[in-house]
Structure 1
Amino acid sequence: MKSKLLDDGPSKTYALVFDLGDEVMEGLEGFARAQGLDGAHFTAIGAFSDATLGYFDWERKEYLENDVPEQVEVLTLAGDVAENDGEPAVHAHVVLGRSDGSALGGHLLRAHVRPTLELILTETPAHLRKRHDDASGLALIDPSV
Protein backbone atom coordinates (compact mmCIF):
# COMPACT_ATOMS: atom_id res chain seq x y z
CA MET A 1 0.00 0.00 0.00
CA LYS A 2 1.16 3.47 -0.84
CA SER A 3 -0.07 6.66 0.82
CA LYS A 4 0.16 10.38 0.21
CA LEU A 5 -0.82 13.29 2.43
CA LEU A 6 -3.14 15.43 0.30
CA ASP A 7 -4.05 18.14 2.81
CA ASP A 8 -2.15 19.01 5.99
CA GLY A 9 -4.83 21.41 7.26
CA PRO A 10 -6.66 21.10 10.54
CA SER A 11 -8.20 17.88 9.18
CA LYS A 12 -5.56 15.87 7.34
CA THR A 13 -6.62 14.07 4.17
CA TYR A 14 -4.72 11.07 2.80
CA ALA A 15 -4.89 9.03 -0.40
CA LEU A 16 -4.18 5.34 0.18
CA VAL A 17 -3.61 3.14 -2.85
CA PHE A 18 -3.63 -0.57 -2.10
CA ASP A 19 -1.62 -2.93 -4.30
CA LEU A 20 -2.42 -6.30 -5.80
CA GLY A 21 -2.85 -8.87 -3.01
CA ASP A 22 -2.96 -6.39 -0.11
CA GLU A 23 -5.39 -7.29 2.68
CA VAL A 24 -7.54 -4.19 3.13
CA MET A 25 -8.53 -4.22 6.81
CA GLU A 26 -5.02 -5.17 7.95
CA GLY A 27 -3.51 -2.38 5.83
CA LEU A 28 -6.02 0.22 6.94
CA GLU A 29 -5.65 -0.67 10.63
CA GLY A 30 -1.85 -0.54 10.30
CA PHE A 31 -2.02 2.88 8.65
CA ALA A 32 -4.37 4.19 11.37
CA ARG A 33 -1.97 2.96 14.09
CA ALA A 34 1.09 4.42 12.35
CA GLN A 35 -0.61 7.83 11.96
CA GLY A 36 -2.11 7.77 15.47
CA LEU A 37 -5.63 8.23 14.11
CA ASP A 38 -8.46 8.20 16.62
CA GLY A 39 -11.08 9.86 14.45
CA ALA A 40 -11.45 9.62 10.66
CA HIS A 41 -13.83 8.67 7.86
CA PHE A 42 -13.08 7.16 4.46
CA THR A 43 -14.49 6.07 1.12
CA ALA A 44 -12.97 3.89 -1.59
CA ILE A 45 -13.46 2.22 -4.96
CA GLY A 46 -11.55 -0.56 -6.68
CA ALA A 47 -11.77 -4.34 -6.89
CA PHE A 48 -11.17 -7.48 -4.80
CA SER A 49 -10.10 -11.00 -5.70
CA ASP A 50 -12.07 -12.27 -2.68
CA ALA A 51 -13.77 -10.92 0.41
CA THR A 52 -15.44 -11.96 3.63
CA LEU A 53 -18.49 -9.94 4.62
CA GLY A 54 -20.21 -9.91 7.97
CA TYR A 55 -23.86 -9.68 8.89
CA PHE A 56 -24.54 -8.91 12.54
CA ASP A 57 -26.93 -11.45 14.05
CA TRP A 58 -28.71 -9.56 16.82
CA GLU A 59 -29.91 -12.66 18.67
CA ARG A 60 -26.48 -14.34 18.72
CA LYS A 61 -24.57 -11.05 19.22
CA GLU A 62 -21.99 -12.04 16.61
CA TYR A 63 -21.14 -11.56 12.96
CA LEU A 64 -22.15 -14.28 10.54
CA GLU A 65 -19.47 -14.60 7.87
CA ASN A 66 -20.28 -14.64 4.17
CA ASP A 67 -17.36 -15.57 1.92
CA VAL A 68 -17.17 -14.06 -1.55
CA PRO A 69 -14.58 -16.26 -3.35
CA GLU A 70 -14.62 -14.38 -6.67
CA GLN A 71 -13.43 -11.25 -8.42
CA VAL A 72 -15.75 -8.33 -7.56
CA GLU A 73 -15.87 -4.60 -8.13
CA VAL A 74 -15.91 -2.38 -5.05
CA LEU A 75 -18.91 -0.19 -5.86
CA THR A 76 -18.50 1.65 -2.59
CA LEU A 77 -16.53 1.18 0.59
CA ALA A 78 -17.27 3.56 3.45
CA GLY A 79 -16.33 3.63 7.08
CA ASP A 80 -14.74 5.29 10.05
CA VAL A 81 -11.87 5.05 12.49
CA ALA A 82 -12.47 5.60 16.20
CA GLU A 83 -10.50 4.93 19.37
CA ASN A 84 -11.36 1.75 21.24
CA ASP A 85 -9.38 0.86 24.37
CA GLY A 86 -6.51 3.11 23.30
CA GLU A 87 -6.21 1.69 19.78
CA PRO A 88 -7.69 2.81 16.45
CA ALA A 89 -10.69 0.67 15.45
CA VAL A 90 -11.75 0.52 11.80
CA HIS A 91 -15.43 -0.03 10.95
CA ALA A 92 -16.17 -0.51 7.25
CA HIS A 93 -19.17 -1.44 5.11
CA VAL A 94 -18.93 -2.36 1.45
CA VAL A 95 -21.15 -2.90 -1.60
CA LEU A 96 -19.66 -5.31 -4.14
CA GLY A 97 -20.65 -5.83 -7.77
CA ARG A 98 -20.53 -9.26 -9.41
CA SER A 99 -19.85 -9.93 -13.09
CA ASP A 100 -23.57 -10.46 -13.76
CA GLY A 101 -24.40 -6.98 -12.40
CA SER A 102 -25.83 -8.20 -9.10
CA ALA A 103 -24.63 -6.63 -5.87
CA LEU A 104 -24.05 -7.78 -2.32
CA GLY A 105 -22.83 -6.00 0.74
CA GLY A 106 -22.18 -5.99 4.43
CA HIS A 107 -19.61 -5.31 7.11
CA LEU A 108 -16.13 -5.78 5.62
CA LEU A 109 -14.17 -8.34 7.63
CA ARG A 110 -11.41 -9.24 5.14
CA ALA A 111 -10.61 -8.68 1.46
CA HIS A 112 -7.69 -8.96 -0.93
CA VAL A 113 -7.15 -6.30 -3.56
CA ARG A 114 -7.06 -7.10 -7.29
CA PRO A 115 -5.89 -4.98 -9.04
CA THR A 116 -6.22 -1.83 -6.89
CA LEU A 117 -8.19 -0.05 -4.21
CA GLU A 118 -8.17 3.76 -4.07
CA LEU A 119 -9.16 5.11 -0.67
CA ILE A 120 -9.51 8.71 0.53
CA LEU A 121 -9.30 9.10 4.33
CA THR A 122 -10.01 12.35 6.18
CA GLU A 123 -9.10 12.81 9.81
CA THR A 124 -11.90 14.31 11.89
CA PRO A 125 -11.11 17.35 14.06
CA ALA A 126 -12.79 15.81 17.12
CA HIS A 127 -11.64 12.44 18.41
CA LEU A 128 -14.12 9.57 18.31
CA ARG A 129 -14.34 7.06 21.13
CA LYS A 130 -16.08 3.70 21.29
CA ARG A 131 -17.72 2.19 24.35
CA HIS A 132 -19.08 -1.26 24.97
CA ASP A 133 -22.83 -1.40 24.33
CA ASP A 134 -24.51 -3.95 26.59
CA ALA A 135 -27.56 -4.39 24.34
CA SER A 136 -25.57 -5.40 21.25
CA GLY A 137 -22.32 -6.58 22.78
CA LEU A 138 -20.46 -4.32 20.33
CA ALA A 139 -18.11 -1.38 20.80
CA LEU A 140 -20.08 1.56 19.37
CA ILE A 141 -19.12 5.21 18.89
CA ASP A 142 -20.27 7.28 21.84
CA PRO A 143 -20.38 10.99 20.89
CA SER A 144 -20.62 12.01 24.56
CA VAL A 145 -16.97 11.06 25.27
Structure 2
Amino acid sequence: MKLKPYFTQAFITLTLLFASATLFAQEYLPATNAAKTGRSPGVKVKLLNEQGRAKTYVLVFAKGDEVLSGLTEFAQKYNVRSASFTAIGDATSCKFGWFDKVKKMFKVISLNEQAEITSMIGDMSVINGKPSVHAHINVADQNGNVHGGHLIEAFIYPTLEVMVTVYPATLQKQYNAESNINLLHPEL
Protein backbone atom coordinates (compact mmCIF):
# COMPACT_ATOMS: atom_id res chain seq x y z
CA MET A 1 0.00 0.00 0.00
CA LYS A 2 1.37 3.38 -1.01
CA LEU A 3 0.86 6.47 1.15
CA LYS A 4 -0.51 9.60 -0.38
CA PRO A 5 2.04 12.45 -0.61
CA TYR A 6 0.32 14.55 2.08
CA PHE A 7 0.38 11.59 4.49
CA THR A 8 4.08 11.11 3.81
CA GLN A 9 4.76 14.79 4.45
CA ALA A 10 2.70 14.72 7.68
CA PHE A 11 4.57 11.61 8.84
CA ILE A 12 7.95 13.26 8.16
CA THR A 13 6.86 16.47 9.95
CA LEU A 14 5.65 14.55 13.02
CA THR A 15 8.85 12.49 13.10
CA LEU A 16 10.98 15.66 12.98
CA LEU A 17 8.91 17.32 15.70
CA PHE A 18 9.25 14.29 17.97
CA ALA A 19 13.01 14.11 17.33
CA SER A 20 13.37 17.84 18.08
CA ALA A 21 11.39 17.56 21.30
CA THR A 22 13.54 14.63 22.40
CA LEU A 23 16.76 16.40 21.43
CA PHE A 24 15.86 19.60 23.25
CA ALA A 25 14.10 18.06 26.27
CA GLN A 26 14.72 20.24 29.30
CA GLU A 27 16.51 18.71 32.27
CA TYR A 28 15.09 19.36 35.76
CA LEU A 29 16.62 18.50 39.12
CA PRO A 30 15.06 18.37 42.58
CA ALA A 31 15.90 21.37 44.75
CA THR A 32 17.01 19.02 47.52
CA ASN A 33 19.85 17.44 45.48
CA ALA A 34 22.95 16.87 47.65
CA ALA A 35 26.42 17.74 46.34
CA LYS A 36 28.63 14.91 45.14
CA THR A 37 31.91 14.82 47.05
CA GLY A 38 35.36 13.59 46.04
CA ARG A 39 35.64 15.79 42.93
CA SER A 40 37.96 18.52 44.27
CA PRO A 41 41.35 17.07 45.15
CA GLY A 42 43.27 20.30 44.43
CA VAL A 43 41.57 22.63 46.95
CA LYS A 44 43.95 24.40 49.33
CA VAL A 45 42.70 25.95 52.59
CA LYS A 46 44.30 28.68 54.71
CA LEU A 47 43.02 30.27 57.91
CA LEU A 48 43.28 34.05 57.46
CA ASN A 49 41.74 35.46 60.60
CA GLU A 50 40.26 34.40 63.92
CA GLN A 51 38.14 36.94 65.74
CA GLY A 52 36.54 35.44 68.81
CA ARG A 53 34.99 32.21 67.60
CA ALA A 54 34.45 33.47 64.02
CA LYS A 55 37.06 32.40 61.49
CA THR A 56 37.84 33.56 57.96
CA TYR A 57 39.40 31.14 55.48
CA VAL A 58 40.52 31.34 51.88
CA LEU A 59 39.91 28.28 49.71
CA VAL A 60 41.86 28.14 46.45
CA PHE A 61 40.50 25.69 43.88
CA ALA A 62 42.74 24.16 41.19
CA LYS A 63 42.21 23.11 37.59
CA GLY A 64 39.45 20.49 37.32
CA ASP A 65 38.04 20.91 40.84
CA GLU A 66 34.25 20.96 41.15
CA VAL A 67 32.97 23.82 43.31
CA LEU A 68 30.12 22.33 45.37
CA SER A 69 32.17 19.21 46.04
CA GLY A 70 35.07 21.25 47.42
CA LEU A 71 32.87 23.52 49.53
CA THR A 72 30.97 20.54 50.96
CA GLU A 73 34.21 18.71 51.80
CA PHE A 74 35.54 21.86 53.51
CA ALA A 75 32.34 22.12 55.60
CA GLN A 76 32.62 18.45 56.57
CA LYS A 77 36.33 18.58 57.47
CA TYR A 78 36.08 21.80 59.51
CA ASN A 79 32.69 20.93 61.08
CA VAL A 80 31.07 24.09 59.69
CA ARG A 81 27.59 24.68 61.12
CA SER A 82 27.10 28.21 59.74
CA ALA A 83 29.09 30.24 57.19
CA SER A 84 28.89 32.70 54.33
CA PHE A 85 31.15 32.95 51.31
CA THR A 86 31.97 34.92 48.18
CA ALA A 87 34.16 33.94 45.24
CA ILE A 88 35.63 34.92 41.89
CA GLY A 89 37.52 32.86 39.32
CA ASP A 90 37.10 30.91 36.10
CA ALA A 91 35.26 27.78 34.99
CA THR A 92 35.39 25.44 32.00
CA SER A 93 31.72 24.49 32.40
CA CYS A 94 28.82 25.38 34.66
CA LYS A 95 25.34 24.14 35.40
CA PHE A 96 22.97 26.42 37.22
CA GLY A 97 19.29 26.33 37.89
CA TRP A 98 16.22 28.48 37.70
CA PHE A 99 13.55 27.47 40.22
CA ASP A 100 10.29 26.49 38.54
CA LYS A 101 7.66 26.97 41.25
CA VAL A 102 5.07 24.92 39.33
CA LYS A 103 7.33 21.87 38.97
CA LYS A 104 9.05 22.58 42.33
CA MET A 105 12.36 21.76 40.69
CA PHE A 106 15.34 23.53 39.14
CA LYS A 107 15.37 23.93 35.37
CA VAL A 108 19.00 23.15 34.48
CA ILE A 109 20.87 25.67 32.35
CA SER A 110 24.31 24.64 31.05
CA LEU A 111 27.22 26.72 29.85
CA ASN A 112 29.86 24.45 28.32
CA GLU A 113 32.63 26.93 27.55
CA GLN A 114 35.35 28.83 29.37
CA ALA A 115 33.72 31.56 31.48
CA GLU A 116 34.64 34.14 34.08
CA ILE A 117 32.99 33.60 37.44
CA THR A 118 32.12 37.25 38.01
CA SER A 119 30.52 36.52 41.36
CA MET A 120 29.49 33.64 43.55
CA ILE A 121 27.78 34.04 46.89
CA GLY A 122 26.31 31.57 49.31
CA ASP A 123 25.96 30.06 52.74
CA MET A 124 26.64 26.88 54.63
CA SER A 125 24.20 25.42 57.12
CA VAL A 126 23.08 22.06 58.47
CA ILE A 127 20.35 19.72 57.22
CA ASN A 128 19.64 16.67 59.39
CA GLY A 129 23.03 17.06 61.08
CA LYS A 130 25.02 17.22 57.83
CA PRO A 131 26.64 20.28 56.20
CA SER A 132 24.76 21.83 53.30
CA VAL A 133 26.07 24.38 50.79
CA HIS A 134 23.78 26.81 48.96
CA ALA A 135 25.29 29.03 46.27
CA HIS A 136 24.26 31.34 43.46
CA ILE A 137 26.66 32.13 40.64
CA ASN A 138 27.07 34.60 37.78
CA VAL A 139 29.38 33.74 34.90
CA ALA A 140 30.36 35.79 31.85
CA ASP A 141 30.93 34.11 28.49
CA GLN A 142 33.52 35.22 25.92
CA ASN A 143 31.17 37.96 24.67
CA GLY A 144 30.59 39.37 28.14
CA ASN A 145 27.06 37.99 28.37
CA VAL A 146 26.28 37.09 31.97
CA HIS A 147 24.41 33.92 32.88
CA GLY A 148 23.53 32.74 36.33
CA GLY A 149 21.31 31.17 38.91
CA HIS A 150 21.39 28.53 41.63
CA LEU A 151 24.74 26.70 41.37
CA ILE A 152 24.39 23.04 40.46
CA GLU A 153 27.90 22.29 39.22
CA ALA A 154 31.01 24.18 38.05
CA PHE A 155 34.42 22.86 37.06
CA ILE A 156 37.34 25.23 37.53
CA TYR A 157 40.12 26.41 35.23
CA PRO A 158 42.58 27.77 36.16
CA THR A 159 41.43 28.80 39.67
CA LEU A 160 38.64 29.89 42.00
CA GLU A 161 39.28 32.03 45.09
CA VAL A 162 36.68 31.64 47.84
CA MET A 163 36.54 33.72 51.01
CA VAL A 164 34.62 31.85 53.74
CA THR A 165 33.58 33.29 57.10
CA VAL A 166 32.60 30.60 59.61
CA TYR A 167 30.34 31.64 62.49
CA PRO A 168 30.04 29.96 65.90
CA ALA A 169 26.23 29.58 65.77
CA THR A 170 24.42 26.79 63.94
CA LEU A 171 22.02 27.53 61.09
CA GLN A 172 19.51 24.76 60.40
CA LYS A 173 17.61 24.10 57.20
CA GLN A 174 14.38 22.18 57.19
CA TYR A 175 12.38 20.63 54.36
CA ASN A 176 9.41 22.69 53.17
CA ALA A 177 6.82 20.52 51.39
CA GLU A 178 5.02 23.46 49.74
CA SER A 179 8.11 24.48 47.75
CA ASN A 180 10.00 21.15 47.86
CA ILE A 181 13.05 23.08 49.11
CA ASN A 182 15.15 22.97 52.28
CA LEU A 183 14.71 26.42 53.85
CA LEU A 184 16.67 28.19 56.59
CA HIS A 185 15.01 28.14 59.99
CA PRO A 186 17.07 30.47 62.22
CA GLU A 187 14.94 29.60 65.25
CA LEU A 188 16.02 25.94 65.12
Q: TM-score, normalised by structure 2?
A: 0.75
Contact 2:82 2:170 in 1 (8 A): yes
Instruction: Point out which structure has higher relative CO (alpha carbons under 8 A, 6+ apart).
Output: 1
Alignment partner of 1:21 out of 57, 64, 67: 64
Paired letter, 2:123 = D
Displacement of 1:132 in angstroms is 1.1
Paired letter, 1:4 = K
In structure 2, the residue matched to 1:32 is 75
Contact 2:81 2:168 in 1 (8 A): no
Higher helix share goes to which structure? 2
Instruction: Report which stretch shifted further, 118-127 or 37-46.
Output: 118-127
Q: How many residues align?
A: 145
Higher strand share goes to which structure? 1
Alignment partner of 2:152 out of 81, 97, 109: 109
In structure 1, the residue matched to 2:50 is 8
- List, as ranges, runs of 4+ consecutive aligned residues in structure 1 with deviation greater than 6 Å: none
Question: What 5-or-longer segments of structure 2 have no aligned partner?
Answer: 1-42
- Computing the radius of gyration from Cα coordinates, the structure with the larger value is 2
Displacement of 1:7 in angstroms is 1.2
SS of the residue corresponding to residue 38 of structure 1 reads: coil
Deviations 1:20-49 (A, max 9, x none): 010111011011000000100000000000
What RMSD, in angstroms, separates the aligned Cα atoms of the two structures?
0.8
Question: What 5-or-longer segments of structure 1 have no aligned partner?
Answer: none
